[in-house]
Structure 1
Protein backbone atom coordinates (compact mmCIF):
# COMPACT_ATOMS: atom_id res chain seq x y z
CA UNK A 1 0.00 0.00 0.00
CA UNK A 2 1.49 3.31 -1.05
CA UNK A 3 2.00 6.16 1.38
CA UNK A 4 0.58 9.68 1.15
CA UNK A 5 2.15 12.92 2.32
CA UNK A 6 -1.06 13.56 4.23
CA UNK A 7 -3.84 11.08 5.02
CA UNK A 8 -6.96 10.99 2.84
CA UNK A 9 -9.61 12.91 4.76
CA UNK A 10 -12.84 10.89 4.80
CA UNK A 11 -16.39 11.75 5.87
CA UNK A 12 -18.62 8.75 6.69
CA UNK A 13 -22.33 8.99 5.84
CA UNK A 14 -24.65 6.25 7.08
CA UNK A 15 -27.82 6.20 9.17
CA UNK A 16 -26.76 3.23 11.32
CA UNK A 17 -24.53 4.17 14.26
CA UNK A 18 -23.08 0.67 14.46
CA UNK A 19 -21.99 0.89 10.83
CA UNK A 20 -20.35 4.26 11.43
CA UNK A 21 -18.53 2.92 14.48
CA UNK A 22 -17.42 -0.18 12.60
CA UNK A 23 -16.11 1.82 9.65
CA UNK A 24 -14.30 4.24 11.93
CA UNK A 25 -12.66 1.33 13.77
CA UNK A 26 -11.74 -0.39 10.50
CA UNK A 27 -10.15 2.72 9.00
CA UNK A 28 -8.37 3.63 12.23
CA UNK A 29 -6.00 0.73 11.53
CA UNK A 30 -4.51 2.79 8.68
CA UNK A 31 -3.79 6.20 10.26
CA UNK A 32 -0.96 7.02 7.85
CA UNK A 33 -3.29 6.68 4.85
CA UNK A 34 -6.81 7.59 6.01
CA UNK A 35 -8.22 10.04 8.55
CA UNK A 36 -11.94 9.95 9.41
CA UNK A 37 -12.81 13.61 9.97
CA UNK A 38 -16.46 13.12 10.86
CA UNK A 39 -19.76 11.36 10.30
CA UNK A 40 -23.26 12.27 9.11
CA UNK A 41 -26.58 10.46 8.95
CA UNK A 42 -28.44 12.37 6.25
CA UNK A 43 -28.09 14.75 3.32
CA UNK A 44 -28.24 17.93 5.38
CA UNK A 45 -25.53 16.72 7.74
CA UNK A 46 -23.34 15.60 4.87
CA UNK A 47 -23.61 18.95 3.09
CA UNK A 48 -22.83 20.86 6.31
CA UNK A 49 -19.78 18.69 6.90
CA UNK A 50 -18.35 18.96 3.40
CA UNK A 51 -18.94 22.71 3.34
CA UNK A 52 -17.16 23.17 6.67
CA UNK A 53 -14.45 20.49 6.61
CA UNK A 54 -13.85 19.87 2.88
CA UNK A 55 -13.06 16.13 3.07
CA UNK A 56 -11.25 14.47 0.18
CA UNK A 57 -13.76 11.61 0.01
CA UNK A 58 -17.29 11.01 1.26
CA UNK A 59 -18.02 7.34 1.95
CA UNK A 60 -21.80 6.97 1.79
CA UNK A 61 -24.49 4.28 1.77
CA UNK A 62 -26.69 4.32 -1.33
CA UNK A 63 -29.88 4.12 0.75
CA UNK A 64 -30.58 6.07 3.93
CA UNK A 65 -33.76 6.12 6.01
CA UNK A 66 -34.64 9.75 5.29
CA UNK A 67 -32.68 10.46 2.13
CA UNK A 68 -31.38 8.81 -1.02
CA UNK A 69 -27.64 8.36 -1.10
CA UNK A 70 -27.83 9.40 -4.74
CA UNK A 71 -29.27 12.76 -3.66
CA UNK A 72 -26.51 13.02 -1.05
CA UNK A 73 -23.94 12.48 -3.81
CA UNK A 74 -25.43 15.19 -6.01
CA UNK A 75 -25.69 17.64 -3.12
CA UNK A 76 -22.11 16.97 -1.98
CA UNK A 77 -20.75 17.38 -5.50
CA UNK A 78 -22.65 20.64 -5.88
CA UNK A 79 -21.44 21.98 -2.53
CA UNK A 80 -17.84 20.78 -2.86
CA UNK A 81 -16.96 19.81 -6.45
CA UNK A 82 -13.46 18.66 -5.50
CA UNK A 83 -14.81 16.15 -2.96
CA UNK A 84 -15.20 12.65 -4.34
CA UNK A 85 -18.08 10.37 -3.34
CA UNK A 86 -17.74 6.60 -2.98
CA UNK A 87 -20.76 4.44 -2.22
CA UNK A 88 -20.34 1.61 0.30
CA UNK A 89 -23.47 -0.49 0.42
CA UNK A 90 -25.01 -3.96 0.66
CA UNK A 91 -26.97 -3.46 -2.57
CA UNK A 92 -25.36 -5.68 -5.20
CA UNK A 93 -27.39 -4.17 -8.02
CA UNK A 94 -26.11 -2.94 -11.37
CA UNK A 95 -28.87 -0.34 -11.65
CA UNK A 96 -27.71 1.30 -8.42
CA UNK A 97 -24.18 1.28 -9.83
CA UNK A 98 -25.30 3.01 -13.02
CA UNK A 99 -27.33 5.57 -11.08
CA UNK A 100 -24.39 6.22 -8.75
CA UNK A 101 -22.04 6.94 -11.64
CA UNK A 102 -24.61 9.18 -13.30
CA UNK A 103 -24.90 11.10 -10.02
CA UNK A 104 -21.16 11.80 -10.12
CA UNK A 105 -19.81 9.11 -7.80
CA UNK A 106 -16.21 7.98 -8.03
CA UNK A 107 -16.88 4.49 -6.77
CA UNK A 108 -19.38 1.80 -5.84
CA UNK A 109 -18.22 -0.81 -3.33
CA UNK A 110 -19.99 -3.49 -1.33
CA UNK A 111 -19.80 -3.77 2.45
CA UNK A 112 -18.13 -7.17 2.18
CA UNK A 113 -14.88 -5.31 1.38
CA UNK A 114 -12.17 -5.66 4.02
CA UNK A 115 -10.25 -2.78 5.54
CA UNK A 116 -7.11 -3.08 3.45
CA UNK A 117 -9.10 -3.36 0.21
CA UNK A 118 -11.22 -0.35 1.17
CA UNK A 119 -8.17 1.78 1.88
CA UNK A 120 -6.59 0.71 -1.41
CA UNK A 121 -9.76 1.72 -3.23
CA UNK A 122 -9.75 5.10 -1.47
CA UNK A 123 -6.14 5.63 -2.54
CA UNK A 124 -7.09 4.90 -6.15
CA UNK A 125 -10.03 7.31 -5.96
CA UNK A 126 -7.70 9.98 -4.60
CA UNK A 127 -5.53 9.41 -7.68
CA UNK A 128 -8.53 10.04 -9.93
CA UNK A 129 -9.69 6.50 -10.68
CA UNK A 130 -13.25 5.16 -10.67
CA UNK A 131 -13.48 2.12 -8.36
CA UNK A 132 -16.17 -0.54 -8.67
CA UNK A 133 -16.67 -3.75 -6.68
CA UNK A 134 -14.92 -6.48 -8.70
CA UNK A 135 -18.03 -8.67 -8.90
CA UNK A 136 -20.17 -5.87 -10.28
CA UNK A 137 -17.38 -4.69 -12.58
CA UNK A 138 -17.10 -8.20 -14.00
CA UNK A 139 -20.80 -8.31 -14.85
CA UNK A 140 -20.67 -4.88 -16.50
CA UNK A 141 -17.58 -5.85 -18.49
CA UNK A 142 -19.28 -9.07 -19.60
CA UNK A 143 -22.21 -7.05 -20.91
CA UNK A 144 -19.73 -5.04 -22.97
CA UNK A 145 -18.02 -8.10 -24.40
CA UNK A 146 -20.09 -8.14 -27.58
CA UNK A 147 -17.60 -5.72 -29.17
CA UNK A 148 -16.09 -7.81 -31.98
CA UNK A 149 -13.55 -7.02 -34.65
CA UNK A 150 -15.20 -6.30 -38.00
CA UNK A 151 -18.66 -5.75 -36.56
CA UNK A 152 -20.53 -2.53 -35.87
CA UNK A 153 -19.32 -1.44 -32.43
CA UNK A 154 -20.94 0.52 -29.58
CA UNK A 155 -20.09 4.20 -29.82
CA UNK A 156 -19.65 4.27 -33.59
CA UNK A 157 -22.69 6.52 -33.92
CA UNK A 158 -20.97 8.95 -31.51
CA UNK A 159 -17.84 8.99 -33.64
CA UNK A 160 -15.74 6.60 -31.54
CA UNK A 161 -13.27 4.31 -33.24
CA UNK A 162 -13.48 0.60 -32.42
CA UNK A 163 -10.45 0.85 -30.14
CA UNK A 164 -11.87 3.92 -28.37
CA UNK A 165 -15.06 1.93 -27.85
CA UNK A 166 -13.06 -0.94 -26.35
CA UNK A 167 -11.30 1.50 -24.00
CA UNK A 168 -14.64 3.01 -22.99
CA UNK A 169 -16.08 -0.47 -22.31
CA UNK A 170 -13.18 -1.17 -19.97
CA UNK A 171 -13.68 2.21 -18.28
CA UNK A 172 -17.30 1.24 -17.64
CA UNK A 173 -15.96 -2.01 -16.18
CA UNK A 174 -13.96 0.01 -13.65
CA UNK A 175 -10.44 -0.70 -14.95
CA UNK A 176 -7.59 1.72 -14.35
CA UNK A 177 -5.39 3.05 -17.16
CA UNK A 178 -2.70 0.51 -16.30
CA UNK A 179 -5.20 -2.37 -16.30
CA UNK A 180 -6.65 -1.21 -19.64
CA UNK A 181 -3.13 -1.09 -21.12
CA UNK A 182 -2.47 -4.63 -19.90
CA UNK A 183 -5.81 -5.92 -21.23
CA UNK A 184 -5.30 -4.36 -24.68
CA UNK A 185 -1.53 -5.05 -24.73
CA UNK A 186 -0.65 -1.41 -25.38
CA UNK A 187 1.34 1.24 -23.51
CA UNK A 188 -0.07 3.56 -20.86
CA UNK A 189 0.58 6.49 -23.23
CA UNK A 190 -1.50 4.80 -25.94
CA UNK A 191 -4.38 4.41 -23.49
CA UNK A 192 -4.10 8.10 -22.57
CA UNK A 193 -4.23 9.00 -26.29
CA UNK A 194 -7.41 6.96 -26.75
CA UNK A 195 -8.92 8.56 -23.65
CA UNK A 196 -8.21 12.05 -24.96
CA UNK A 197 -9.88 11.12 -28.23
CA UNK A 198 -13.01 9.67 -26.71
CA UNK A 199 -13.29 12.53 -24.17
CA UNK A 200 -13.22 15.00 -27.06
CA UNK A 201 -15.81 13.10 -29.07
CA UNK A 202 -18.12 12.60 -26.08
CA UNK A 203 -17.57 16.25 -25.04
CA UNK A 204 -16.49 15.33 -21.50
CA UNK A 205 -13.42 16.04 -19.37
CA UNK A 206 -13.01 13.01 -17.12
CA UNK A 207 -13.53 9.28 -16.66
CA UNK A 208 -16.71 9.55 -14.62
CA UNK A 209 -18.42 11.75 -17.20
CA UNK A 210 -17.40 9.40 -20.02
CA UNK A 211 -18.86 6.44 -18.11
CA UNK A 212 -22.04 8.42 -17.48
CA UNK A 213 -22.42 9.11 -21.22
CA UNK A 214 -21.87 5.42 -22.03
CA UNK A 215 -24.57 4.42 -19.57
CA UNK A 216 -26.98 7.18 -20.62
CA UNK A 217 -26.62 6.16 -24.26
CA UNK A 218 -26.90 2.44 -23.35
CA UNK A 219 -23.80 1.73 -25.42
CA UNK A 220 -23.06 -1.57 -23.74
CA UNK A 221 -26.53 -2.94 -22.98
Structure 2
Protein backbone atom coordinates (compact mmCIF):
# COMPACT_ATOMS: atom_id res chain seq x y z
CA UNK A 1 0.00 0.00 0.00
CA UNK A 2 1.42 3.32 -1.13
CA UNK A 3 0.02 6.46 -2.74
CA UNK A 4 2.58 6.46 -5.57
CA UNK A 5 2.17 4.12 -8.53
CA UNK A 6 5.90 4.11 -9.29
CA UNK A 7 6.66 2.86 -5.76
CA UNK A 8 4.11 0.07 -6.07
CA UNK A 9 5.44 -0.99 -9.46
CA UNK A 10 9.02 -0.91 -8.18
CA UNK A 11 8.15 -3.28 -5.36
CA UNK A 12 6.23 -5.53 -7.73
CA UNK A 13 9.26 -5.75 -10.03
CA UNK A 14 11.52 -6.42 -7.05
CA UNK A 15 9.39 -9.45 -6.10
CA UNK A 16 8.64 -10.70 -9.61
CA UNK A 17 10.85 -13.79 -9.24
CA UNK A 18 9.00 -15.05 -6.16
CA UNK A 19 5.60 -15.79 -7.66
CA UNK A 20 5.85 -19.40 -6.51
CA UNK A 21 5.71 -18.33 -2.85
CA UNK A 22 3.66 -15.14 -2.85
CA UNK A 23 1.21 -13.16 -4.91
CA UNK A 24 1.45 -9.38 -5.01
CA UNK A 25 -1.88 -7.58 -5.27
CA UNK A 26 -2.38 -3.84 -5.11
CA UNK A 27 -4.92 -2.52 -2.64
CA UNK A 28 -6.86 0.24 -4.37
CA UNK A 29 -6.44 3.24 -2.13
CA UNK A 30 -9.50 4.90 -3.60
CA UNK A 31 -11.75 2.17 -2.20
CA UNK A 32 -12.11 0.26 1.03
CA UNK A 33 -10.38 -3.10 1.33
CA UNK A 34 -13.05 -5.52 0.12
CA UNK A 35 -11.15 -8.79 -0.42
CA UNK A 36 -9.05 -10.60 2.18
CA UNK A 37 -5.25 -10.62 1.93
CA UNK A 38 -2.70 -12.36 4.14
CA UNK A 39 -0.44 -9.34 4.61
CA UNK A 40 -0.81 -5.63 3.94
CA UNK A 41 2.63 -4.12 3.32
CA UNK A 42 2.41 -0.46 4.28
CA UNK A 43 5.10 1.56 2.50
CA UNK A 44 5.89 4.78 4.37
CA UNK A 45 7.19 6.76 1.37
CA UNK A 46 5.65 10.26 1.76
CA UNK A 47 3.00 8.70 4.00
CA UNK A 48 2.24 8.82 7.70
CA UNK A 49 4.52 6.56 9.78
CA UNK A 50 3.42 3.30 11.34
CA UNK A 51 2.35 4.80 14.65
CA UNK A 52 -0.47 6.85 13.13
CA UNK A 53 -4.12 6.41 12.26
CA UNK A 54 -3.70 4.82 8.81
CA UNK A 55 -1.89 1.76 10.17
CA UNK A 56 -4.21 1.47 13.15
CA UNK A 57 -7.27 1.45 10.89
CA UNK A 58 -5.73 -1.19 8.64
CA UNK A 59 -4.78 -3.33 11.62
CA UNK A 60 -8.39 -3.33 12.83
CA UNK A 61 -9.71 -4.41 9.41
CA UNK A 62 -9.91 -8.22 9.30
CA UNK A 63 -9.68 -8.18 5.49
CA UNK A 64 -6.24 -6.52 5.64
CA UNK A 65 -4.56 -9.50 7.30
CA UNK A 66 -1.33 -8.76 9.12
CA UNK A 67 -0.17 -5.17 8.61
CA UNK A 68 3.58 -4.82 8.07
CA UNK A 69 5.30 -1.43 7.99
CA UNK A 70 7.96 -1.08 5.26
CA UNK A 71 10.34 1.79 6.01
CA UNK A 72 13.94 2.93 6.24
CA UNK A 73 13.26 4.41 9.67
CA UNK A 74 13.94 1.59 12.13
CA UNK A 75 14.52 3.81 15.15
CA UNK A 76 13.59 1.67 18.16
CA UNK A 77 10.90 3.91 19.63
CA UNK A 78 9.23 4.33 16.21
CA UNK A 79 9.22 0.56 15.66
CA UNK A 80 7.78 -0.12 19.12
CA UNK A 81 5.10 2.52 18.60
CA UNK A 82 4.07 0.97 15.27
CA UNK A 83 3.82 -2.50 16.81
CA UNK A 84 1.80 -1.09 19.72
CA UNK A 85 -0.41 0.59 17.11
CA UNK A 86 -1.41 -2.78 15.70
CA UNK A 87 1.30 -3.54 13.13
CA UNK A 88 2.35 -7.20 13.07
CA UNK A 89 5.80 -6.49 11.67
CA UNK A 90 8.31 -3.84 10.68
CA UNK A 91 10.73 -4.27 7.77
CA UNK A 92 13.74 -2.31 6.58
CA UNK A 93 13.56 -1.06 3.01
CA UNK A 94 17.19 -2.11 2.71
CA UNK A 95 16.28 -5.81 2.73
CA UNK A 96 17.17 -7.50 -0.56
CA UNK A 97 14.30 -9.29 -2.28
CA UNK A 98 15.01 -12.81 -1.02
CA UNK A 99 15.30 -11.68 2.58
CA UNK A 100 12.19 -9.51 2.25
CA UNK A 101 10.21 -12.52 1.06
CA UNK A 102 11.53 -14.69 3.91
CA UNK A 103 10.68 -11.96 6.42
CA UNK A 104 7.11 -11.71 5.12
CA UNK A 105 6.68 -15.47 5.46
CA UNK A 106 8.16 -15.39 8.97
CA UNK A 107 5.79 -12.63 10.04
CA UNK A 108 2.84 -14.47 8.54
CA UNK A 109 3.79 -17.58 10.54
CA UNK A 110 4.28 -15.51 13.69
CA UNK A 111 8.02 -16.24 13.79
CA UNK A 112 9.36 -12.68 13.93
CA UNK A 113 8.37 -9.02 13.85
CA UNK A 114 11.32 -6.71 13.11
CA UNK A 115 13.78 -7.34 10.29
CA UNK A 116 16.76 -5.05 9.72
CA UNK A 117 18.82 -4.73 6.55
CA UNK A 118 22.12 -6.60 6.37
CA UNK A 119 24.88 -4.55 7.96
CA UNK A 120 22.55 -2.07 9.66
CA UNK A 121 20.40 0.74 8.38
CA UNK A 122 20.40 0.89 4.62
CA UNK A 123 19.32 4.25 3.19
CA UNK A 124 17.75 3.07 -0.04
CA UNK A 125 15.61 0.16 -1.13
CA UNK A 126 15.71 -1.95 -4.26
CA UNK A 127 12.35 -0.64 -5.43
CA UNK A 128 11.63 2.58 -7.25
CA UNK A 129 10.51 6.09 -6.39
CA UNK A 130 9.71 9.40 -8.13
CA UNK A 131 12.81 11.27 -9.24
CA UNK A 132 15.17 8.32 -9.14
CA UNK A 133 16.11 8.94 -12.77
CA UNK A 134 17.02 12.52 -11.79
CA UNK A 135 19.47 11.26 -9.17
CA UNK A 136 17.26 11.89 -6.14
CA UNK A 137 17.72 9.52 -3.22
CA UNK A 138 14.62 8.00 -1.63
CA UNK A 139 14.83 10.43 1.30
CA UNK A 140 15.29 13.45 -0.99
CA UNK A 141 12.39 12.24 -3.13
CA UNK A 142 10.19 11.80 -0.07
CA UNK A 143 10.93 15.34 1.14
CA UNK A 144 10.19 16.72 -2.33
CA UNK A 145 6.94 14.71 -2.47
CA UNK A 146 5.87 16.20 0.86
CA UNK A 147 6.76 19.71 -0.37
CA UNK A 148 4.66 19.05 -3.47
CA UNK A 149 1.76 18.02 -1.22
CA UNK A 150 2.01 21.42 0.47
CA UNK A 151 3.56 20.46 3.82
CA UNK A 152 5.68 23.02 5.67
CA UNK A 153 9.23 22.26 6.85
CA UNK A 154 7.92 21.73 10.39
CA UNK A 155 5.23 19.33 9.15
CA UNK A 156 7.78 17.42 7.07
CA UNK A 157 10.07 17.16 10.09
CA UNK A 158 7.22 15.82 12.20
CA UNK A 159 6.15 13.33 9.51
CA UNK A 160 9.67 12.02 8.81
CA UNK A 161 11.05 12.30 12.34
CA UNK A 162 13.92 14.43 11.07
CA UNK A 163 15.07 17.73 12.53
CA UNK A 164 13.98 20.89 10.73
CA UNK A 165 17.64 21.60 9.91
CA UNK A 166 18.00 18.14 8.35
CA UNK A 167 14.84 18.72 6.32
CA UNK A 168 16.31 22.01 5.09
CA UNK A 169 19.50 20.19 4.08
CA UNK A 170 17.49 17.69 2.04
CA UNK A 171 15.53 20.51 0.45
CA UNK A 172 18.73 22.27 -0.62
CA UNK A 173 20.11 19.07 -2.12
CA UNK A 174 16.81 18.52 -3.96
CA UNK A 175 16.97 22.01 -5.39
CA UNK A 176 20.48 21.39 -6.71
CA UNK A 177 19.52 18.09 -8.32
CA UNK A 178 16.42 19.42 -10.08
CA UNK A 179 17.96 22.84 -10.82
CA UNK A 180 15.47 25.10 -9.05
CA UNK A 181 16.08 27.90 -6.58
CA UNK A 182 12.87 28.21 -4.58
CA UNK A 183 9.94 26.27 -3.13
CA UNK A 184 7.38 27.45 -5.68
CA UNK A 185 9.49 26.20 -8.58
CA UNK A 186 10.20 22.96 -6.70
CA UNK A 187 6.44 22.39 -6.30
CA UNK A 188 5.86 23.07 -10.00
CA UNK A 189 8.68 20.67 -10.88
CA UNK A 190 7.22 18.07 -8.54
CA UNK A 191 3.76 18.37 -10.08
CA UNK A 192 5.26 17.93 -13.55
CA UNK A 193 7.37 14.90 -12.57
CA UNK A 194 5.01 12.63 -10.66
CA UNK A 195 5.54 13.83 -7.09
CA UNK A 196 1.86 14.36 -6.31
CA UNK A 197 0.13 11.15 -5.13
CA UNK A 198 -1.59 9.03 -7.76
CA UNK A 199 -4.08 7.93 -5.10
CA UNK A 200 -5.53 9.33 -1.92
CA UNK A 201 -6.55 7.00 0.88
CA UNK A 202 -10.17 6.72 1.88
CA UNK A 203 -11.32 5.91 5.40
CA UNK A 204 -12.76 2.43 5.90
CA UNK A 205 -16.49 2.14 6.39
CA UNK A 206 -17.52 1.98 10.01
Relative distance call for 1:62 and 1:96 in structure 2 (3 A) is farther
Distance 1:92 1:85, change over 3 A: same
Q: Is 1:60 paired with 2:30?
A: no
1:26 is matched with 14
Q: Would you say the 8 A contact 1:26–1:115 is kept in 2?
A: yes
Asked if structure 1 preserves the Cα contact closer than 8 Å seen for 2:107 and 2:113, the reply is: yes
Deviating above 6 A after TM superposition, structure 1's stretches of 4 or more consecutive aligned residues are none
Q: What are the residue-to-residue correspondences of 1:187-206 with 2, within 5 Å? A: none
1:112 aligns with 2:94: yes
Following the alignment from structure 1 to structure 2, what is the Cα–Cα distance between the partners of residues 62 and 130? 20
Q: TM-score, normalised by structure 1?
A: 0.47
Tell me how far apart the structure 2 counterparts of residues 110 and 82 of structure 1 sit (CA, whole Å): 20
| Contact preservation (8 Å) 1:20, 1:39 | no
Gaps of 5+ in 2: 121-206
Aligned partner of 2:113 in structure 1 is 131
Superposed displacement of residue 63, structure 1:
5.8
Q: Give the whole-Å Cα distance in 2 for the aligned partners of 1:135 and 1:26.
A: 16
CA distance in 2, matches of 1:19, 1:83: 21
Partners of 2:45 and 2:55 in 1: how far apart?
11
Alpha-carbon contact 2:93-2:117 (below 8 Å) kept: no
Aligned to 2:203: none
1:128-162 Cα shifts (integer Å, max 9, x gaps): 233212369x9xxxxxxxxxxxxxxxxxxxxxxxx
- Is the alpha carbon distance of 1:135 and 1:112 closer, same or farther for their aligned partners in structure 2, counting shifts above 3 Å? closer
Once the two structures are superposed, the pairs formed by residues 146-161 of structure 1 within 5 Å of their partners are: none
Q: Displacement of 1:83 after TM fit? A: 0.9
CA contact (8 A) 2:68 2:87 kept: yes
The higher-RCO structure (CA 8 Å, 6+ apart) is: 2
1:82-131 Cα offsets, whole Å, 9 max, x none, are 71011111213222101111012111111111110011011111212332
Does the 8 Å contact 1:27/1:35 carry over to 2? Answer: no
Structure whose residues are more often helix by fraction: 1
Q: TM-score, normalised by structure 2?
A: 0.50
Compute the RMSD of aligned alpha carbons: 2.7
Corresponding residue for residue 154 of structure 1: none
Aligned residues: 119
Report what 2:84 is aligned to. Answer: 102
Larger Rg: 1
